[in-house]
Structure 1
Amino acid sequence: MQRTRRTIRRTVLIVGALIASLGLPAGTAHAEDTAPRIDLRVLVVSDGGPSTDAIAAELDAAGTPYTEVDLQQSGRSVIDAGFLADTVDGRPRAKFQAVVLPNDNPFPAGSAEMAALAAYEQTYAIPQVDAYTYARPEAGLQYPVSGGYSGSVDGVRAQVTAAGKAGPFGYLDGTVPFEDNSPTVGESYAYLSTPAAGADFTPYVDAPIPGQSTRGSLVGEYRHDGRRELVVTFVYNQYQQQFRLLARGIVEWMTGGVHLGASRNYFAVHVDDVFAADDRWDTQLNCTPGDIDCPQGEGVTNPIRMTPADVDQAAAWESSRNFTLDLAFNGAGSVDQRTDNNGVDLLADKLIADRDKFRWINHTYTHAFLGCEQDTTVVPWKCATNADGSTKWVSRNAISDEIATNRAWGQAAGLPLDTSELITGEHSGLKVLPQQPDDNPNLAPALTDNGVAWLGSDNSREPDQRQVGPATTVPRYPMNVFYNAGRAAEQVDEYNWIYTSRAQGGSGICEDHPDTSTCLPAPLDTSTGYADYIVPLETRIDLGHVLSNDPKPHFIHQSNLAEDRIAYPVLDGVLDGYDALFADNTPVVNLRMKDIGTELQRRAAWKTAVSAGQVTAYRIGDTVTVQAPGGVAVTATMPTGTTDGSTGFGSAYAGEVSGWTASTGAPLAFALPSTTPSLCATVDVSRKAAATRTAPRTRVPAGATRQVPYTPDN
């Protein structure tokens, strides 16, 4: 006990000295003209654990600048008064608006670095996030052995408290489900506890304590010694749903809702091959007649094509979900239908009559392959070659004709097209590994000929946006709802073929490629496997994209809206799951393709400017000043009522406003509403300083150090 008192007394003296060295006297109120400058940058102190990595990933995705100090690295920066603060133009400057630590104190007892952080937080009212810490009095909580709990929380359904809803987690409906993807892998571990006696602690997210009638905090705010800490007592990684749900609130809490970068939840669905028909999987041949890997001349083609009733269903579904589908169309499909059916195409007539209920994208006229000329005499196919060994490419004229003819057909039908958008059949023309390692050199000129600015690409092949002549790619997520399946039993049969071993009657593909695929333990029941297995897993994957501030669209095919309409259970699963998690002020954002491309393009330019140190942002009182290179749009999140010059800033989302502001290179000034909390605190250092005893090691199960797979191929 004597040693503890000496440590606390020594810490009080260190903190008092550091407060003086940080440039602001304790207990001083600050008028607007003498308010300190607070830079809009976060300090992330990492120990290499998954929780600090997750918060850093969230900041990365949002475009929020941060500086990381890795405690495991030799030669790292020393956290002292000079590292944290200085003076600019005679005004005290805090270099970080928030501090993220691995736990409530990752430093040795009596650490000068922890003392410097405590003094800094007191002086400038800087919040601290304890990314994953043990429940103990130093963090405002009782030890778990005192009526609490230490252990797995896999599958637990936590709740946002009333204080959490009124505070940083008001964008959630209330329930925070914890993942439990594998019965054999521990995925989450938590310390559930109640506030320590006399502690000023407010739980924001809690869960029932097993065997008790009380609830224990998982996320809460601890106020002490002129400091504020967000205390998180469960471990997580950046992919887990529970973190994805709470990540926004963690960032908004620690920044006071004033920061660079923005985060929204996006979902867009492209439906390819509209007007055309898709070949059908043959459950006997285990291939698709018409494809080159199926024995030629065997099987019945029996293609899948939507009907007018399917159009009615799609329109009714959109209306009920307040959601718009993007239809990628091939005009030749209708022309062929009319040729074969005495000029009649009831599907096209219905879609054209209802054209304004959907968004439309040029998918080329015949869905031709626009890369190299394919040699299909071998399986897999290869690129045909000229006599000199060079690759035979589909010509510029052929590519341009596919684009222009489909555009003209759509315009003649009155489809509300945006001619800057294009998705080629099978994303062809772009490189396809291993057969075609380069883009068709004739693709870019053909895109120029037709004014194409946005080109759909396959995210599973190329997740990064890139330039192809005048066009920028928009990577799309392929949904695991197969193009050649109109019925659930067909989908399951093909799924079994791909994901079961040879001994189980499958193709063994999953055995041949163990690094990218996992075999099912047994084939799925063709009558129940789709609803019971495939739908929940595909829903979880797609919802994970939605919750990750990822605007990339997903794509399915028109066949999935026909016959058994197998796409809807997945789409409803995503939207129903989302609605059960989020409040009305945080809707799904449903953008068209060019707007998604613009969002991705702006993010890339912003990230480059931030990484190059070309962005400066700070707050003084109720004014935020941001300077970025000319032509680089600025992204930010601010409280409702913030103005940009004489106009309101951004648009409402999740209880705040966020958006992009064009920059000419001159400083931008944002005026915060007068209700925004001040950043300068009054501190009484005569109170007991924060204990400096290092936080004990916390348990991290395997499932929090690596993502537990959702599906056999993820």
Structure 2
Amino acid sequence: MKRTIRTTALIWGMLAAIGLPAATAQADDQTPRIDLRVLVVSDGGPSTEAIAAELENAGTPYTEVDLEDTGRATIDAGFLADTVDGRPRAKYQAVVLPNDNPFPTGSAEMAALTAYEQTYSVPQVDAYTYARPQVGLNAAVGTGYAGSIDGVRAEVTQAGKAGAFGYLEGAVPFEDNSPTVGESYAYLSTPATGADFVPYVQAAVPGRSTKGSLVGEYRHDGRRELVVTFVYNQYQQQYRLLARGIVEWMTGGVHLGAERNYFAVHVDDVFAADDRWDTELNCTPGDVDCQPGEGAPDPIRMVPADVDHASAWQNSRGFTLDFAYNASGSEDYREDNGGQDALADKLKADRDRFRWINHTYTHAYLGCVQDTSVVPWKCATNADGSTRWVSRNDIVDEIATNEAWGVAAGLPLQKEELVTGEHSGLKLSPQQPVDNPNLGPALTDTGIKWLGSDNSRDPVQRQVGPATTVSRYPMNVFYNAGRASEQVDEYNWFYTSRAQGGSGICEDNPATSTCLSAPLDTATGYTDHIVPLETRIALGHVLANDPKPHFIHQSNLTEDRIAYPVLDGVLGDYDDLFTDDTPVVNLRMKEIGVEMQRRAAWRAALDAGQVSAYRIGDSVTVRTPDGVALTATMPAGTQHGGTGFGAAYAGAVSGWASADGLPYTLDVPTSAGAPAAAVEPAGKPAPPTPAAPRTKVPAGVEKRVPYGAER
């Protein structure tokens, strides 16, 4: 009884502060309108910025208030709520604070937030706070633990699995990328006696038999807080695993924006052969990094057994590879081998097991005409000093001839997709800082709409003539290596110092994340160092709602088949972390391009203030500009006009929809936890909430520790 009286008393005083009259709160036809927008109050720390980044990336509207900005808006009743068309409106569906109270004790702003959350049943996320009774936990010092949890394997509790974190299998491993840099810090503690606190993610308290909460829900005084007691940044795996759940908890599973875990792998140069790295010369004979005439080319090319292995691997993983092909590789091979090409025959027979992408006929360089008489090569010039460009006709011939060969071979192509050899034709620093001016017209001639680009040098989606680029992540599994020892030798060359026999690239560019303090053992370095590193990097992309594909080469699927340990690492680790209803989304290039295009248009509309969305009871209304598809995540069972909305993923439904500039309405299930109507006031306000104490942020969270740091 005492608790109920205290809660009611709090609300009475705070309703007056918000300016919501009692009669309005009681009227049945005055169910509040809750805008689908999140308020993020930031102190510049990494944790609130991580949540803001998650919202930004997913396309979920939010307003950020920077407490360090002297000209910022004041958080008061008018900032938080008003009335629209005679109906009380809550401007934010959730509040994110740096901790449970980042304001001075007795702050009017914290009082306004408290009243707002109580009145409209708006939840609050404490992005990173100290464990203590004010957040429903025993003090960490003395009864729990305060310190590093680098490398700790936390777990989702049964309550977490039954709630917002149900997409996780259970384990939440914390990164430990460097033995010399602290990358995490946590306050582990148990719920305080009498507190209504439910842990969602917990870890063992060092030296004790108990487990302490890392993420948990605290209900008190008519409010709900998600109490997070560990620090993180937007890149760390532990946060990436939990980010979805944090957003689902704060929004009740009803919000604009969507998130999925994507992974696609393009295999370039199929049918062709790739030149092999020479471990003595430290270059690739036959390619432009060797001096003309230096060394003898030693081609690497798949064999039919590699096709069987790829098919079996795909079946075991439920995953499809995209084969980017160069048809002249087969034609040249037949010419040199009495008209026989068992690899091409096998790939044609098994063509429907893979996806196919036009990679040009001969893999020719389609930018400037290359002058390879020097290393590094340069663009050839005309007599007047202007750049010599590969012609429009030559580019068209490369694209069209390869397409015609693929059609004749029955390859299931998407004719609008193209990856040029080495992404050539597109700008390449320092030799070719602009696109080949003949590329766009040639793409028009051949009907190309989606053009692969290299994310390491061209990461932003852009137009090239009629085509839209799709940036691809290069994996550090080298095109010129079929054996693990070759891969390690070349890796050592690139990433060690000149004094150690390396290229010195890291001395010239210290920010390179894959630098080595000493050469790797060629017998063990691939398995022990490169595979775990590349797995972590690629999995990081998968967990970041990033649809961009990765690319490797056909040479990596033959001989030692060095690509598979990395791919198995990514997909195996993923399967261990996520439930079956949260699968990896494996799209082809065109679909990835469309997803990226839609996101860009959606983000532009959000930034321009052209999107509005709100919830009244069980009804959600969204308005967008003409031609801009909306994206949303809703509880399972949500309908639009009597038809189910979106596609099932991670226990919810999400997807894109067209509103055509009209109000788009969604009916969410009654069980989806609609915000409560404004409550009846009575009594008087509670004592002021004390300011939260300062928490520790280690160097490895303030500044990201690269995945490639030495261990």
Query: TM (normalized to structure 1)?
Result: 0.97
Letter in 2 for 1:200: D
Which residue of structure 2 aligns with residue 317 of structure 1? 313
> Which aligned pairs between 1:83-482 and structure 2 lie closer than 5 A?
83-482=79-478
User: Partners of 1:134 and 1:505 in 2: how far apart?
Assistant: 49
Q: How far does the alpha carbon of each residue in 1:66-118 deviate from its partner, in whole angstroms, 9 at most, with x for none?
A: 00000000110000000000000000000000000000000001000000000
User: Partners of 2:603 and 2:161 in 1: how far apart?
Assistant: 31
Q: Is the 8 A contact 2:38 2:96 kept in 1?
A: yes
User: Partners of 2:204 and 2:526 in 1: how far apart?
Assistant: 34
Which residue of structure 2 aligns with residue 551 of structure 1? 547
Which residue of structure 2 aligns with residue 3 of structure 1? none
Letter in 2 for 1:324: T
Number of paired residues?
705
* From 694, 699, 705, the counterpart of 2:696: 699
Partner SS, residue 419 of structure 1: strand
Letter in 1 for 2:499: A
- Cα displacement (A) at 1:572: 0.1
Q: Is 1:491 the counterpart of 2:487 in the alignment?
A: yes
Q: Is the 8 A contact 1:226 1:683 kept in 2?
A: no
Q: How far does the alpha carbon of each residue in 1:422-477 deviate from its partner, in whole angstroms, 9 at most, with x for none?
A: 00000000000111111001000000001100000000001110011110000000
Letter in 2 for 1:504: Q
Partner SS, residue 439 of structure 1: coil
Quick one: structure 1 residues 289 and 468, their matched pair in 2 at CA, closer, same or farther if it must change by over 3 Å? same
- Cα displacement (A) at 1:31: 7.0
Q: How far does the alpha carbon of each residue in 1:623-675 deviate from its partner, in whole angstroms, 9 at most, with x for none?
A: 00000001100000000011111211000000000000012101101111121
Which residue of structure 2 aligns with residue 675 of structure 1? 671
Letter in 2 for 1:539: T
Partner SS, residue 670 of structure 2: coil
Q: Is 1:630 the counterpart of 2:626 in the alignment?
A: yes
Quick one: structure 1 residues 256 and 665, their matched pair in 2 at CA, closer, same or farther if it must change by over 3 Å? same
Letter in 1 for 2:570: V
User: Partners of 1:368 and 1:308 in 2: how far apart?
Assistant: 25
Quick one: structure 1 residues 478 and 107, their matched pair in 2 at CA, closer, same or farther if it must change by over 3 Å? same
- Cα displacement (A) at 1:678: 2.2
Which residue of structure 2 aligns with residue 71 of structure 1? 67
Letter in 1 for 2:201: V
* From 678, 698, 706, the counterpart of 1:709: 706
User: Partners of 1:175 and 1:518 in 2: how far apart?
Assistant: 27
Letter in 1 for 2:179: P
User: Partners of 2:434 and 2:24 in 1: how far apart?
Assistant: 65
Q: Is the 8 A contact 1:271 1:558 kept in 2?
A: yes
User: Partners of 1:21 and 1:708 in 2: how far apart?
Assistant: 45
Unaligned residue ranges in structure 2 (runs of 5+): none
Q: Is the 8 A contact 1:169 1:249 kept in 2?
A: yes
User: Partners of 1:524 and 1:683 in 2: how far apart?
Assistant: 69
Quick one: structure 1 residues 572 and 687, their matched pair in 2 at CA, closer, same or farther if it must change by over 3 Å? farther
Letter in 2 for 1:710: Y
Q: Is the 8 A contact 1:118 1:690 kept in 2?
A: no
User: Partners of 2:498 and 2:513 in 1: how far apart?
Assistant: 14
Letter in 1 for 2:346: K
User: Partners of 1:687 and 1:506 in 2: how far apart?
Assistant: 73
Q: Is the 8 A contact 1:289 1:298 kept in 2?
A: yes
- Cα displacement (A) at 1:361: 0.2
Quick one: structure 1 residues 685 and 655, their matched pair in 2 at CA, closer, same or farther if it must change by over 3 Å? farther
Which residue of structure 1 aligns with residue 604 of structure 2? 608
- Cα displacement (A) at 1:518: 5.6
Q: Is the 8 A contact 1:14 1:115 kept in 2?
A: no
Unaligned residue ranges in structure 1 (runs of 5+): 1-8
Q: How far does the alpha carbon of each residue in 1:654-711 deviate from its partner, in whole angstroms, 9 at most, with x for none?
A: 0000000012101101111121112125467659847511100000000111110112
Q: Is the 8 A contact 2:123 2:225 kept in 1?
A: yes
Which residue of structure 2 aligns with residue 537 of structure 1? 533
Letter in 2 for 1:376: T
User: Partners of 1:518 and 1:635 in 2: how far apart?
Assistant: 37
> Which aligned pairs between 1:24-39 and structure 2 lie closer than 5 A?
24=20, 33-39=29-35
User: Partners of 1:222 and 1:27 in 2: how far apart?
Assistant: 30
Q: Is 1:503 the counterpart of 2:499 in the alignment?
A: yes
Q: Is the 8 A contact 2:292 2:372 kept in 1?
A: no
Partner SS, residue 446 of structure 1: helix
- Cα displacement (A) at 1:22: 2.9
Please report the RMSD computed on the Cα atoms of aligned residues, expressed in angstroms: 1.8
User: Partners of 2:628 and 2:351 in 1: how far apart?
Assistant: 36
- Cα displacement (A) at 1:515: 3.2
Quick one: structure 1 residues 581 and 689, their matched pair in 2 at CA, closer, same or farther if it must change by over 3 Å? farther
User: Partners of 1:365 and 1:545 in 2: how far apart?
Assistant: 31
Quick one: structure 1 residues 150 and 684, their matched pair in 2 at CA, closer, same or farther if it must change by over 3 Å? farther
Letter in 1 for 2:180: T
User: Partners of 2:460 and 2:26 in 1: how far apart?
Assistant: 47
User: Partners of 1:685 and 1:145 in 2: how far apart?
Assistant: 38
> Which aligned pairs between 1:645-656 and structure 2 lie closer than 5 A?
645-656=641-652
Q: Is the 8 A contact 2:11 2:118 kept in 1?
A: no
- Cα displacement (A) at 1:416: 0.4
- Cα displacement (A) at 1:619: 0.3
Partner SS, residue 95 of structure 2: strand
* From 16, 20, 24, the counterpart of 2:16: 20
User: Partners of 2:481 and 2:475 in 1: how far apart?
Assistant: 13
Letter in 1 for 2:599: R
User: Partners of 1:580 and 1:453 in 2: how far apart?
Assistant: 37
Letter in 2 for 1:695: A
Q: Is the 8 A contact 2:9 2:684 kept in 1?
A: no
Partner SS, residue 299 of structure 2: coil
- Cα displacement (A) at 1:508: 1.4
Q: How far does the alpha carbon of each residue in 1:303-322 deviate from its partner, in whole angstroms, 9 at most, with x for none?
A: 00000000000000000000
Larger mean CA deviation between 33-42 and 321-330 belongs to 33-42
Q: Is 1:581 the counterpart of 2:577 in the alignment?
A: yes
Q: Is the 8 A contact 1:140 1:201 kept in 2?
A: yes
Q: Is the 8 A contact 1:85 1:93 kept in 2?
A: yes
- Cα displacement (A) at 1:561: 0.1
Q: Is the 8 A contact 2:111 2:688 kept in 1?
A: no
